Each structure stands twice: as structure tokens, then as C-alpha cells.
Amino acid sequence: MVVVRTGSRNDPSDNTGLAHYLEHMLFKGTSNYGTKNYKFEKQYLEQIETLFELYKNTSDSALRKFIYSRIDSISYMASQTAIANEYDKMMQIMGVEGVNAYTSNDETVYINNIPSNQIYKWLEIEAERFRNPVFRLFHTELEAVYEEKNRSLDSDDSKAFEKLFYGLFYGHPYGMQTTIGTSEHLKTPSLKAIETYYRKYYVPGNMAMILSGDFDPDSLIQVIDSEFSKWINLPKPKEIVYPELTKKPFKSTEVVGPNPAYVMFGYPVPSGRVVEGAYAEVMNSLLYNGKAGLMDKNLNLSQKVQSASGFVYLMNDAGSHIFIGVPRENQSPEEVQTLMLAEIEKIKKGEFDEKLLQAIVDNYELQLMRSYQDNFSRCGTLADAFIRGYSWKDYQVISNAYKSIKKDALIAYANKWYVEDQMITVFKREGHDSSLVKIAKPAITPIELNKGKESKWLKEHAYKNVEPIAPNFVNFERDLQRTKTTSGLDLFYVENKDNQLFSLYYVLEMGSYNDLKTAFAIELLPYLGTDKFTVEEINNQFYTLAA
């Protein structure tokens, strides 16, 4: 992962969506790759940048249409030397998978899953990629961003979350602007603003490279030093400090869309320190953990609602605890919210088993141990620590923070933060959204993609010979131990030498092809008890065991 400590929080208020635009443009190449002839291409790119500024600052519709036609025609000229998708092609040549990126409130993250024998070549490419990107093929990339925006406008969930965050974080970029940006700003993009943003935030002091996998760290760090030392060593930019949030624009509101109705409500919670975040997470697990939370037992398993759930979303400047309730047939979202609020009140009154707190700690440590088995999750944990500004030592004490939370302290926390005058509610109603206005895509002349063409830089770097990886195939006769249980069932097992986890699978030689009712029967199992235990007792026991 390459992680940049910036996201939509730092978008200029008159250029929302900018961080996300930039993420897209970091796949377009540099002066060395993504082009057959950068010197020829550059003259057109400079004209396009100037025209986009003129387009942004022009209000006359006829003149705007003329300017965009000029952008379109010059973009076609520039595309004659551009090589589309050359970064992706280099990754394919090297066998890199999972090439992706995402932008959120506080971070922009670039992801690659790299064969271990290609890591040195990948470092060369990444150093070049972020050194001096060229924002080519820009107006065609707008189409992709417009499509993302239109999908978000169609999405009931996106509309509900946007309203909720507006209510929770009114006066802060978290609430006042979205990662995708406003329709108006997306229609008037500024290449100069994107360039300024890149120069400000994509600097060594504000970025991290996070690697996890099969490599020699001592030799790898030498290559990193060699490749990335060419960058100018600039510190991270000064953070903008926003005033404390106090004003709420509304208590409740609603959005309308074609999907079934539900209620979404939330509370702002502190997120500045490890312990503060741990309190919110423990609160959530007491209410909803999929097995033994108050909402699990009293609402979901008892089927008083179709579903009740919650999650904690912590950001650098603020956090939120969000709940979603889906009604049963002939039940209103308001009724669901009332039932969910009653479960929150139980915690505020101390009406919960203190033993659950230890079970929450055990389940957290289980989740953490599982995540450390996977390279992507390990990178994600390190990325989160970097973005939040924690040292790795700080991050490692989260388990201790969970263990330190006692019942009385949690009750006090709940009574302080989970109060009515802080709660924001969004009711999702089923119906037609008459206010929906999608972004119209401008007419664009198909550009030259130059498929099959390759830059000199690609040929010199992507095709370098590397030592092949020796495959290590599973030998089921050698690697699996076999025995039988006391009841005569076949048992196959492998010793886990990496950590204290174990997994157990029952494999039945039957399925829906044998009996169509099998699939439905399996779906019923989570709601069934036994002749000795109720389903609630079973779930409590499994959760207590962190199983």
C-alpha cells in the first residue's frame, strides 16, 4: 500500500471531490510512461489546463459549450500520443493483482498485491508514478467520475449517509462535503487546483509505504532509499484546525428512494485517543456483535424487527456511532428506532451482564489475531495507525484499552454521549425521489487509446527478468493428518504453527442437489436451540468462548 494522509476533509470548499479526482489521475502515467512522445503531448495538455480554468470561470452557457468543444478537440489531439492504461498493463506484465485505490475522509490509499519476485520492479514503478504524475486523458476520466456520482445519487444508502453526516458534523468538512463532491463542482473541475493539491499533500512527510509479505527488509529498504530519495523531502502540511462542533441543523430528516424503508440514526463520539475509540467499540459490541449483544438477543433473534445493527466510524477529527434498523412487514421505521433506543437505555442504566465485557475483549483479540494472518489486513492496520497519527506502540495498546473499561465507566460514557439532543435521525422512506437530478455527460469525441503501443520506459522496466518463484504445492498425503473420532467420523487436521487460532469445519456429503429443503434448513440453524440449550444460550456460550 501507498498511503497518503489526506482525503475529502482537505478538499477546498469550492473544489469538492478533488482528492478523489486526483486518485483517478494517479493511474494515468508520468512524463516517462503513458505516452509515446511527452514533448509533443505536453503542448496540448497545457492548452487543456488553461481551457478548463476558463470553462470553470465562465457562466454563459453558449460560451461554456464552445469552450468544452475546444477541450474535446484538443484532448483528441493529445490522445494521439497518450498510451491509455499503461500503468495497469505494467502491473499485468508483472503478475500484480488487486490493483486499486480509494479515497475517504482522511486518507487516499493505493493498493497492489505483488508477487515477491517483482517487488523491486514495483518499487521503481511506484517511485516514478508518484514523482511527477501527468494528468492526461482528463476529460474522459470525468465520465467515470460522473458515473460514480450518478450512482451515488441513485443510492438510497448514500443519500441517507450524506444526510446523517451533515447532521452529525455540521460546520466541518466531514458533514459539509462528500468524497465524491457536489455535482456543480464536478461539472467545473480545475486541473490547476488538482496540481496544487498534489504538490501540497503528496509529499514524503505526509505519505507512507506499507509492505507486508515475503521479502528481505534489509535489502528492500536499500532499494526504497535509492528510488525514493529522488523526491524532495518536504514535511507534511499544516493541519487545518476546525472549531468544536456544537450546532445541529436538524434533529431528524428523511430521504426517499425505491428501496424498502429503514431508519438510520447516530451519535457523535470522541475519537482523538485510543481509549476514547475503544469505549465506542465496546459500546457497539454490547449492543450488536452478531451473537450476544442486546440488540442481537432482544430484537434480531426474537424477530421483533427485520434487522437491527450498529457500527462505529472513527475519523481523525471526530467519530460517530451509527445504527441502522430495518422494519418488519407492517412495522414503521419509527417503531424500530424506539425498540433500538430502549436497548441503548439499558446500557445507560447498567442493565447488562458485566461478563460480556471480558467476552468483548476476547473477541476483539481473536479478530485482531485473525487479521494479522493476512497481508492486506496487516497493511490496513498499519495504514490506519499512520492516518490516525498513532505510533505503532500506541496502536498495540488497544487491547489494554479494551481491558481497562469497567462497567461503571461505560455507563458514565453512555450517559454522556448517547443523549437525545446529540442524536441525528434519518428516515429512509420508500417512494420516488422527485428532487433527483443527475449529471449530464457532455458529448465527447472517442479518443485514441493506442492499444498495443508501449513506452520506452515500460519496456526498460516491466520486462526485466526476475528469478521465478518456486511453487509449493499442497501434498494431501503428506500435509494432512488423518484419524477418526470416537463415533467413527473421518477427521482431517493440520497443526497451526503460526498462532493460537484453530478452525473446525463439518463437511456433509449432501446439499440442495440431494434435497431442495437442505438450503432452507441450514438458514434456519442460527435461530434454533437444542433440547438442552436455547438459541440465546448457545450464542452466549460461543461469544464467551470467542468462537
Residue-level length of the chain: 547
Number of independent structural domains in the chain: 3
pLDDT at 289: 96
132-167 pLDDT tens trace: 899 999 988 888 899 999 999 999 999 999 999 999
Distance CA 273, CA 324 (A): 26
Which of residues 202, 218, 240 is at a domain's end? Answer: 240
Out of 240, 262, 293, a domain closes at 240
Given a cut of 80, whether residue 410 has pLDDT beyond it is yes
Report the alpha-carbon distance of residue 204 to residue 231 in Å, rounded.
8
DSSP state of 297: I
User: What CATH number should be reported for the domain holding residue 162?
Assistant: 3.30.830.10
Residue 66 lies in a domain: no
**Mean pLDDT of all residues belonging to the chain:** 94
pLDDT of residue 398: 77
Residue 444 resides in a domain? no
User: Whole-angstrom Cα distance, residue 538 to residue 542?
Assistant: 6
| Same-domain status, 275 and 151 | no
**Dist. CA 255–CA 156, nearest whole Å:** 7
518: in domain: yes
443 pLDDT more than 80: yes
**What is the structure's pLDDT at 292?**
95
* Residue range 197-249, pLDDT digits in tens: 999 999 999 999 999 999 999 999 999 999 998 888 888 899 888 888 878 99
Cell numbers given for 379: 497493511
> Above 90 in pLDDT, residue 93?
yes
User: Does one domain contain both 192 and 284?
Assistant: no
pLDDT for residue 239 = 86
Q: What is the mean pLDDT of residues 6-15?
A: 96
Please give the backbone phi and psi of residue 31, each rounded to the nearest 5 degrees, phi first: -70, -15
Q: Please give the average per-residue pLDDT across 471-498, as a whole number.
A: 92
pLDDT in tens, 333-346: 999 999 999 999 99
CB 347 within 8 A of CB 283: yes
pTM of the model: 0.93
Query: Mind listing the pLDDT tens digit for each residue in 388-397?
Result: 988 888 777 7
Instruction: Supply the Cα-derived Rg of the chain in whole angstroms.
Output: 27
Name the pLDDT band for 399 (thresholds 50, 70, 90).
confident
Average pLDDT over residues 246-270: 95
Residue of higher predicted confidence among 309 and 390:
309
Question: Which of 63-77, 105-119, 373-387, 394-408 has the lowest average pLDDT?
Answer: 394-408
| Structural domain ending residue among the three candidates 189, 211, 240 | 240
- 397 and 277, same domain (yes or no): yes
Q: Which domain holds residue 497?
A: 476-544
Average pLDDT over residues 259-287: 92
- At residue 193, the pLDDT reads 96
In percent, the amount of the chain with pLDDT more than 70 equals 99
Q: Is residue 457 part of a domain?
A: no
Nearest partner of 436 among 55, 76, 201, 152, judged by Cα = 152
Q: Are residues 392 and 492 in the same domain?
A: no
What contacts 24+ positions apart, CB below 8 Å, involve 141-147?
141/21, 141/24, 141/25, 141/28, 142/186, 142/189, 143/441, 143/444, 144/24, 145/17, 145/20, 145/21, 145/24, 145/180, 145/186, 146/186, 146/439, 146/441
Structure confidence at residue 484 (pLDDT): 94
